[in-house]
Amino acid sequence: MPNCSSCGKYIQPTEVFRREMYVGTTRRVHYGKRISFGNSTHFRKQSVCISCAKSIDDANESTGTRTKVFLLIVAIVIVLYFALT
């Protein structure tokens, strides 16, 4: 039986959900003519249980909602600025 990658609980084969999860960060240093640094964040599809899948979906949905609200506020401020000048 597979394990949930988030909480470690055993999952029945019929109840496996796949969600994109953070798995690590890579930090690189390149020594050439100039020293350069690079950071990479890695995500991978992991097997999770139904409760963890719901919490991941809720977190992704709230992030999208916050972005939409922020963009709406910026658009209203821009419209008001040009309307009042």
CA distance readout (Å), 50 to 1, 19, 23, 45: 15, 10, 19, 15
Backbone dihedral region of 66: left (phi > 0), alpha (psi from -120 to 50 degrees) or beta?
Answer: alpha
For the chain, 85 residues long, give each residue's pLDDT as a single digit of tens. 689 988 989 999 888 999 999 999 999 999 988 999 999 999 999 999 999 999 999 888 888 888 899 999 999 999 999 998 7
Q: Which residues of 60-69 are buried (b: 16+ CB within 10 A; e: fewer)?
A: eeeeeeeeee
DSSP at 33: S
Domain residue spans in the chain? 13-84
